[in-house]
Structure 1
Amino acid sequence: MYDEKKLHPLTLITDAYNRLVSFVIPIIFFAFSSYRLEGLGLILTLLFFTIFGLVYLVDVLKFIRTSYWIDHNRFVVKSGLFIQKEKDVQISRIQSIDYSENLIHRLFNVTKIEIKTPGKGIALDALSKENALKLATQLHYLKETQRETVSQSAEEAGEKQIDRQTGFSLQKVGVTKSLYSMSLIDIIKMNLMGGSILKGLVVLVGALNIFEELISDTLFDQAETIVSQTTILAQLFIIVLAIVIFYVIGNVISVIKNFDYKVELTKEHLTIEKGLLELKSQTIALANIQSVWEEQNWVQKLFGYTTLSVGITSDEESTTKDDTSESYEKGKIVLLPLVKKEQLASLRGEIVPHFNCLPAQQVVPIRSLRRFIQWPLLCWISLTLLISYFLWSFAWTIGIVGSLVILFYGYRSYKKTGYALSKEEVTFELPKLISTETVYLRKDRVLNLTVKQNPFLKRSHLGKVEVFSALGDSAQNKKLSFIEEADCERLFDWFLVNERSAEPWDQKV
């Protein structure tokens, strides 16, 4: 057993910084609006600082009462305000040791590490670089050797260390390969082909909602008067200018987040590192990859680019606000945000060589086309008529636009829905409104496969297939709708068949 250690004193500073960041909106609000509230503003300001002081006092007491140590095959953290509790992880089950550094961390040359296993995770804030590296090396050595102590073989411990270049991931010196990186130009191209304009709009609208009370109503009235008095050409110029502003805001946010983006590969792990103001690292165990995604929108397809993501099982059900995870959905990680289509096959072969990634074939018959359209269109038209009659007489204009979208998406669903089978893997190609998603699933990672048929589909010899696989702390489901009954049976047989049975995947789609 190792000696019990306390947290670094700089944890108090990082805790104060994190609290100030979480209180930044109330601070700005009180700073700009206290003069309007007169005497009540002073009371609310004092109340705010009192609450902040009490919350930070709790952080100080937790810091004093928190300690950590290694006990045989366990890494243990003991903490608690009044009643101390021990939280531990099995060293043999550690999947990754990730790190992140915000502005305060980098200013004081400290780091935050997160030790993750399939069931739980432990985070230690504000460790010195030396102690964090030493702790990660010890945990890595214990994981590799499965010994109860490392004191017997200090020389051997020096032979198996982590890659110091990448920080604190479970990687060995000399076997790390730089797999993928993004320059500043690549990030800008990614933003141009992605949703930077939408991100900028969301940020701007959110800021206006938060600080609406701080903006004078006269300013809104003047803006409305100016817009009403300008020509159509001037209004178009204002719209274009607004779009440019939204794009610039979204671009800046994305550059700060993805600066110096790189992916490194070892025999057993992938490591993602990125960040300008806050440096983040995340390690992914290759054995933990449950599924592979390829997503391509229209703009990316036009210029020959695509996006590769992987699905993993996550650590804990809830994630903290400052979690280093890159998951946009629970368990889904965008690994290669922008990659040339012709380069994808070789990169994918290095990352997930056990995936075949067969191209999907379109399988929806022409008689299924109306089924993608009729019910959504009928519901939309009915809703539009009700709104037009009872609430707004011009709702039919929106109804026409929505109907065109339904018709377009229904046709895309008919043209783009497909699948492919190999002995150990299934490929699903599923359309979205402006993109196409291709999902690759290994048979041993499929939790359940369901075939659904109502009487109408049975009469037409059609069906639906829904596949469930692990993702994050729960499961994901992917569905093929209105495909031939024979394809449903083929997929079902593929899921149930064993090695000595017939091989439905060899049959022609």
Structure 2
Amino acid sequence: MYNPQKLHRIAYAGSVVKGIKTMFFPAIIIFFNMREELFSGSINPWMLFSGIGILALVFIVFTGFDMLNIYRTRFWIENNKFIYKDGIFTRNEKELDIKRIQSIDFNEPFFHRIFGAVQLDILTPGDGIKIDTIKKSQGQEIQKMIYEEQQDIENEDITVNQGDSSPWPRETEPEAVPKTAAREFVTLKKMKTKELVLMAMTSGGLGVFAAIFFGVLNVVGGEILIENYFEYVSGLVRSIVFGIVISSLVFVIIGYIIGTIIIMVRNYDYTLKQSGDDLTVEYGLFSKKNKSVNINRVQNVIISDSLLRRLIGYYALSVSITSDSLESDQIDGKVQLLPFIKKKELYSIIGDIFPNYHMELPKRVVPFRAIRRYFQITLLIFITGTGVMAYFFHGETFMLYFYIGAAVILMLLIASGIYSAKNVGYAIYKDEINLMTASFFTRRHYAIKRDKIIDTTYRRNPFLHRADLGHIEVSTPGGIASSSAEIKFIGKHDIETIWTFIERGHDDETDFAESNQTVENQRIY
């Protein structure tokens, strides 16, 4: 890998696909200008061939340039740097300091897997490189060599230089570990089939299906299909209202099943592995992905759950990493390590890979007077919308079903608000703060070290000021922007406690009453 390497030959096929995609917008413009002649059948051969010729020219130019760029692309490792060079007339060279590399991710789309190729993302806190198509063996070799280079750099950093003082009494030096043994990955958790099914069934499969389904309909224009579907079902049951209810129920059931299957395929064979300070996550049936995280570069640890998953005792584990690069799809910096795991197993694994984190369940701090604020605005908007519907469609047959549905949604909004208020809280332990946020029957538990926090924001309006309440948001580096946790509608004393801890570094045993540097005195609004 110290010699310049080329991309996989299948990358040229990718150029052809990109060229076809590039023709899409020119084809729309040509079709729009020729629509009258095409529909009337009066188009002449010269116009038709000129349109085809323009599309062919666009395809040849864009595909040709992309192929030349692929041919001239090189990448290699030199002097503790990963170097990537591309460009045709103007050569672009990007260097990444290996010591700063914190994530090496593989993506194996189905087409790439057929030819033993992968897409590679190499990320640092400030930049990144995306290599579209290389051999899988090349990717594994790059990952291995970067890990070895990082280990060598760390060993050089702790080497005692000539003239430095030595500790006394002398400590016994640990036995040298062979590089090959040190880089072996140990499986921490592999998701079982039963867990995969349960995860897919509780992961909002209907929402996944609906997003894909309506996205396709938006492209092809599915209004007629939907109308015909409802008319067909209504004709079978001989009732328009009952037909809409039945057809909607069938759509929900089928959508839920299909969405569940999609989630199972995406997360098939989900495995978490560890080697030293490096974690890797592998998953996927047709499109296989491999993501890596260095433990030392983790900015916060996140445990999330939903009400349904809590009832069956399952949670999810994620972490946030930093990267200002647009080369990766991890815009928010969040990497999911374990999407579905039992509570006992979860805390055991956290203790193994994050021993310096103290995952303490935050105490509930939302006062009784603030509970209504979690749902009152949403409730007001919903009641207003319901009133508008009642005004325009009063007396219609379907309004009875509408009122029943509105009553159910109303109760869900109130229950969700109360659930959020009963779960929001925080806990401070030495140099770490644990924050619990909640929204619509879901919770997120953030464990954040004080030295990782980059911003703290206190918000309140005149109404909250009068009630001695406010919101506080704690942010750490994460992705392009930041990873934030905000707890809402808590008392001023709790906000001052959090603020003082972050600003001055007090732990939970400090008497905050001794300080006069309160949020109020600092005029933070």
| Pairwise TM-score range, normalised by the shorter structure | 0.7 to 0.9
* Post-superposition offset of 1:500: 9.9
What residue in structure 1 maps to residue 307 of structure 2?
Answer: 298
Distance in 1 (CA, whole Å) between partners of 2:512 and 2:433 is 9
CA contact (8 A) 2:300 2:448 kept: yes
Q: Post-superposition shift, 1:456?
A: 4.5
- Contact map agreement 1:14 1:105 (CA 8 A) in 2: no
User: Which residue matches 1:437?
Assistant: 444
Label 1:21 to 1:308 Cα distance change in 2 as closer, same or farther (>3 A): farther
Q: Pairwise mapping of residues 303-452 of structure 1 onto structure 2 (< 5 A)?
A: 303-316=312-325, 318-319=326-327, 323=328, 327=330, 330-378=332-380, 380-381=382-383, 397=403, 403-452=410-459
C-alpha displacement at 1:347, in angstroms? 1.7
Give the Cα separation in 2 of the matches to 1:500 and 1:437.
23
User: Does structure 1 retain, via aligned residues, the 8 Å contact 2:365–2:490?
Assistant: yes
Distance 1:342 1:86, change over 3 A: same
Cα separation, 2, equivalents of 1:502 and 1:303: 36
* 1:100 to 1:238, Cα distance in 2 relative to 1, 3 A: same
Q: CA deviation at 1:51?
A: 3.3
Give the secondary-structure state (helix, strand or coil) at the position aligned to 2:88: coil
Which residue, out of 230, 233, 255, partners 1:227?
Answer: 233
Q: Which residue of 2 aligns with 1:167?
A: none
CA distance in structure 1 between the aligned counterparts of 2:493 and 2:248, rounded to whole angstroms = 52
Partner of 2:191: 182
Whole-angstrom distance in 1 between the partners of 2:94 and 2:466: 57
Change (3 A) 1:189 1:472: same
- The corresponding residue for 1:150 is none
Q: Is the CA contact 2:434–2:448 (under 8 Å) kept in the aligned structure 1?
A: yes
Residue pairs, 1:96-495, within 5 angstroms: 96-146=103-153, 159-161=178-180, 172-174=182-184, 176-212=185-221, 222-231=228-237, 237-316=246-325, 318-319=326-327, 323=328, 327=330, 330-378=332-380, 380-381=382-383, 397=403, 403-454=410-461, 456-495=463-502
Q: Which residue matches 1:74?
A: 81
Q: Residues 270 and 505 of structure 1: is their aligned pair in 2 closer, same or farther, counting only changes over 3 Å?
A: farther
Going from structure 1 to structure 2, the CA distance change for 1:52 and 1:497 (only over 3 Å counts) comes to same
Structure 1 stretch displaced more, 74-83 or 120-129: 120-129
CA distance in 2 between partners of 1:140 and 1:74 (Å): 12
After TM superposition, the score normalised by the length of structure 2 is 0.77
Q: Secondary structure at the match of 2:302?
A: strand
User: Who is 1:16 aligned against?
Assistant: 16
| Displacement after TM superposition at 1:404 (Å) | 4.3
Which moves more between the two structures, 65-74 or 466-475? 65-74
Q: Deviations over 1:267-323 (max 9, x none)?
A: 21110111222222111111111112222112212211122221211350x24xxx5
Between the aligned partners of 1:134 and 1:456, the Cα distance in structure 2 is 60
Give the AA of the match of 1:223: Y
* Counterpart code for 1:160: K
What TM-score, normalized by structure 1, do the two folds share? Answer: 0.80
Task: Work out whether residues 443 and 495 of structure 1, in 8 Å CA contact, stay in contact via their aligned partners in 2.
Answer: yes
> d(CA) in 1 for partners of 2:228 and 2:111?
42
Which amino acid letter does the alignment assign opposite residue 9 of structure 1? R
Change (3 A) 1:62 1:290: same
SS in 2 for 1:105: helix
**Cα deviation, residue 204, structure 1:** 1.7
Q: What is the deviation of 1:374?
A: 4.2
Q: Which runs of 5+ in 2 are unaligned?
A: 155-176, 515-525
1:350-388 deviations in Å (ceiling 9; x for gaps): 232211110111111212233334444445545665676
C-alpha distance in 1 between matches for 2:22 and 2:368 = 55
Rounded Cα–Cα distance in structure 2 between residues aligned with 1:236 and 1:387: 19
Contact 1:313–1:472, Cα closer than 8 Å, also in 2: yes
Stretch of structure 1 that moved more, 439-448 or 122-131: 122-131
SS where residue 447 of structure 2 aligns? strand
| Counterparts in 2 of 1:42 and 1:307: CA distance versus 1, 3 Å | farther
Q: How far apart are the structure 1 equivalents of 2:17 and 2:512? A: 57
Residues 1:281 and 1:443: Cα distance change in structure 2 (over 3 Å): same
Kept in 2, the 8 Å contact 1:421–1:505? The answer is: no
Which sections of structure 1, spanning at least 5 residues, go unmatched? 148-157, 164-171
CA contact (8 A) 2:424 2:487 kept: yes
CA distance in 2, matches of 1:465, 1:66: 48
CA distance in 2 between partners of 1:254 and 1:298 (Å)? 19
Residues 452 and 434 of structure 1: CA distance in aligned 2, closer, same or farther (over 3 Å) = closer
Tell me the equivalent position of 1:152: none
Alpha carbons 1:463, 1:482 under 8 Å: kept: yes
Q: CA deviation at 1:240?
A: 3.7
Deviations 1:185-213 (A, max 9, x none): 32221111111111112212222222238
Counterpart CA distance in 2 for 1:419 and 1:249 is: 39
CA RMSD of aligned residues (A): 3.8
Structure 2 counterpart of 1:364, one-letter code: V
- Structure-2 separation of matches of 1:343 and 1:435: 20
2 CA distance for matches of 1:277 and 1:21? Answer: 23
Q: Which residue of 1 aligns with 2:65?
A: 58
Count of paired positions: 471
Alignment-derived partner of residue 517 in structure 2: none
Q: What is the CA-CA distance between 1:111 and the residue it aligns to?
A: 3.1
Deviates further, 9-18 or 497-506: 497-506
Q: 1:300 to 1:24 in 2, by over 3 A?
A: farther
Tell me which structure has the larger Cα radius of gyration: 2
Q: CA deviation at 1:178?
A: 0.6
Q: Could you say if the C-alpha distance between residues 405 and 25 of structure 1 is closer, same or farther in structure 2, counting changes exceeding 3 Å?
A: farther
Q: Does the CA-based 8 Å contact 1:423-1:505 persist in structure 2? A: no
Task: Report the residue type matching 2:311 in the other structure.
Answer: L
**1:350 aligned partner, one-letter code:** D
